[in-house]
Amino acid sequence: MNIHATLAATSSQSRFLMCPPRYFAVSYSINPWMDPKAWAGGAPALHAKAEQQWASLHRVLREAGAAIELAEPQPDLPDLVFTANAAVVLDRKVILARFRHGERRREEPLFAAAFAALKARGLLDEIVRLPDGLMLEGAGDCIFDARRRMLWMGCGFRSDVGAGAALEQELGLPCVALPLADPRFYHLDTAFCALPCGAVIYYPQAFTAAALRAVHDRVAPAERIALSFADAAHFAANAVCVGRTIVLSSASAGLRRKLERRGYTVAETPLDIFQKSGGSACCLTLRLDHTSCAAPDIGQTAQTATAQRS
Ligand code: ARG
């Protein structure tokens, strides 16, 4: 690779924040997936498996070309591993999360310190707080759609609909609120994923009628990838996209085919232990490098592939 190619590769490299699962456990219940008694029954083995599944996710993301920053795990904060909820990050600006439940509110100062450290290293520019009283559980409920240059915000269970106006003001992009209907899909990223090509993976039954209308008004039928209950229940919407690779816990053959037909490589890495806490691939990562002005990376990759073929 010559110096220009190297620079281009570095500058467009996806960067994520993750937190090792050293203290991961299901010790309280704030969503229907969490059963502390069942966890306690098999804790040592479950924890060992969580460590191994997280390490595999980390490896798969690195192999797909991502850079990973790490937050320091802390005892008694088992959900710190779900860094997607830490903040909304766009254009090097961080909007810190405010959590609905006391169990997770204790994570806020730790994530704030992690972002301050990233800023000190020059990876971020600005860190802001939401107006008092507003709840917003970070990128878990706020999904950047690179192709439409907008934000989709889940609300109803964890985040307040009113946070949308604050996001618009801070980030200068339109934000469409999607009220959620099913407590099993309590964060938007459990039921919705906006791919860089403009396609959207979603589980329609997770949304209220108004939310579905808002999605269908903006996403053409050919760009909708509706999940079966089986795929949704395995958190297939909770996917992470790195360039042309889609990383997720598991996908049916049908879903895999639909994604491959659009030019993606599907990388499955089992994360069922984290689903016992209501999370999967996307929840375990926070994208730090999204920019609202750049062309989505899939476009560039696809163009390069076409140019190479001709
Ligand atoms: N146990 C965590 C909670 O209920 C899981 C968070 C999953 N994160 C996500 N982005 N969906 O808050």
Q: Residue 99 CA: which ligand 1 atom is closest?
A: 12
Closest CA to 286 of 139, 183, 142: 139
Give mean pLDDT, residues 229-247: 98
Q: Give me 199's structure tokens.
A: 């396609």
CB within 8 Å of 279: residues ≥ 6 apart:
81, 82, 235, 238, 271
Q: Give me 15's structure tokens.
A: 């960067």
Is pLDDT above 60 for 300? no
Q: Give the structural domain span for 120.
A: 3-309
Distance 279 CA to ligand 1 centre (A): 5
238 phi and psi angles, rounded to 5 deg? -85, 60
- Calculate what percentage of the chain has a pLDDT beyond 90: 90
Q: Residue 278 CA: which ligand 1 atom is closest?
A: 5
Q: What is the C-alpha separation between 215 and 223, in angstroms, rounded?
A: 11
Is pLDDT above 60 for 9? no
Ligand 1 pocket by Cβ (under 6 Å): 30-31, 34, 79, 82, 84-85, 104, 140, 187, 189-190, 277-279, 283
Distance 72 CA to ligand 1 centre (A): 18
Give mean pLDDT, residues 152-175: 98
The number of domains in the chain is 1
Distance 141 CA to ligand 1 centre (A): 10
Residue 6 confidence class, pLDDT cut points 50, 70, 90: very low
Q: What is the C-alpha separation between 302 and 106, in angstroms, rounded?
A: 43
Instruction: Answer for the pair 91, 171: CB distance below 8 angstroms, yes or no.
Output: yes
Q: Residue 187 CA: which ligand 1 atom is closest?
A: 11
Instruction: Answer for the pair 123, 165: CB distance below 8 angstroms, yes or no.
Output: no
pLDDT, mean over the chain: 93
3-state secondary structure of 139: helix
Q: Residue 282 CA: which ligand 1 atom is closest?
A: 10
Give mean pLDDT, residues 28-32: 98
Give the predicted TM-score (pTM) of the model: 0.92
Instruction: Answer for the pair 278, 102: CB distance below 8 angstroms, yes or no.
Output: no
Q: Express each pLDDT in 55-77 by its tens digit.
A: 999 999 999 999 999 999 999 99
Q: Which of the residues are catalytic? A: 187, 283
Is pLDDT above 60 for 5? no
Give mean pLDDT, residues 118-141: 98
Residue 309 confidence class, pLDDT cut points 50, 70, 90: very low
Q: Give me 156's structure tokens.
A: 């109803």
Which protein residue's CA is at the shortest distance from atom 6 of ligand 1?
279
Is pLDDT above 70 for 298? no
Which protein residue's CA is at the shortest distance from atom 1 of ligand 1?
277
Q: CATH code at 45?
A: 3.75.10.10
Residue 305: the pLDDT is: 38
Give mean pLDDT, residues 40-49: 98
Which protein residue's CA is at the shortest distance from atom 9 of ligand 1?
283
| Of the candidate ranges 123-132, 267-276, 286-295, 297-306, the one whose mean pLDDT is the lowest | 297-306
Is pLDDT above 80 for 295? no
Distance 82 CA to ligand 1 centre (A): 6
User: What is the DSSP pairing of strand 15-18 with strand 67-70?
Assistant: parallel
Distance 303 CA to ligand 1 centre (A): 36
Measured over the CA atoms of residue 215, residue 219, residue 220 and residue 222, the dihedral's sign is negative
Distance 24 CA to ligand 1 centre (A): 12
Q: How far apart are the first and last CA of the chain?
A: 21
Q: Residue 104 CA: which ligand 1 atom is closest?
A: 12
Residue 293: the pLDDT is: 87
24 phi and psi angles, rounded to 5 deg? -65, 135
- Calculate what percentage of the chain has a pLDDT beyond 70: 91
275-294 per-residue burial string, b: 16 or more CB within 10 A, e: under 16: bbbbbbbbbbbbbbbbeeee
Residue with tokens 């307040």: 160
Q: Express each pLDDT in 199-227 by its tens digit.
A: 999 999 999 999 999 999 999 999 999 99
Q: Give me 283's structure tokens.
A: 């929840």
Q: What is the C-alpha separation between 239 and 184, in angstroms, rounded?
A: 17
Best of 157, 187, 273 for a ligand 1 pocket test (most atoms within 8 Å of beta carbon):
187
Which protein residue's CA is at the shortest distance from atom 8 of ligand 1?
283
Best of 24, 85, 240 for a ligand 1 pocket test (most atoms within 8 Å of beta carbon):
85
Residue 308: the pLDDT is: 38
Q: Give me 305's structure tokens.
A: 């592939």
Which protein residue's CA is at the shortest distance from atom 7 of ligand 1?
279
Q: Express each pLDDT in 164-177 by its tens digit.
A: 999 999 999 999 99
